[in-house]
């Protein structure tokens, strides 16, 4: 992929483009920025706390839930 094109995409779209290219069997993405995440990615997306990251209890619980889901995929 052309670097200029990639770097100008929102982070969520960058992740989605990479998933389409690599075709992983299962994946999860962590980010505190919700902009630019395609609808197709949202079940694999865990929004992290703006300041506390995954140390935030709710974020951590969502991450654990997604990882359990992935381990059963």
Query: What pLDDT digit, counting tens, does each position of 51-61 carry?
Result: 999 999 999 99
Phi-psi region of 57 (alpha: psi -120 to 50; beta: other; left: phi over 0): alpha
54 close to 71: Cβ distance less than 8 angstroms: no
| Number of domains observed in the structure of the chain | 1
Query: What pLDDT digit, counting tens, does each position of 25-43 carry?
Result: 999 999 999 988 999 999 9
pTM of structure: 0.84
Using alpha carbons, list the distances in angstroms from residue 61 to 21, 23, 55, 57, 65.
29, 26, 10, 6, 6
Residue span of the structural domain in which 20 resides: 3-71
Q: How far apart are CA 56 and CA 52, in angstroms?
A: 5
Average model confidence (pLDDT) across the chain: 93
């Amino acid at each position: 992929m052309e670097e200029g094109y990639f770097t100008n995409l929102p982070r969520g779209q960058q992740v989605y483009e990479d998933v389409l290219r690599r075709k992983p069997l299962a994946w999860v993405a962590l980010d505190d920025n919700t902009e630019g995440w395609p609808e197709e990615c949202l079940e694999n997306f865990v929004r992290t706390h703006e300041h506390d990251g995954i140390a935030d209890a709710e974020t951590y619980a969502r991450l654990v839930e997604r990882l359990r889901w992935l381990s059963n995929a």
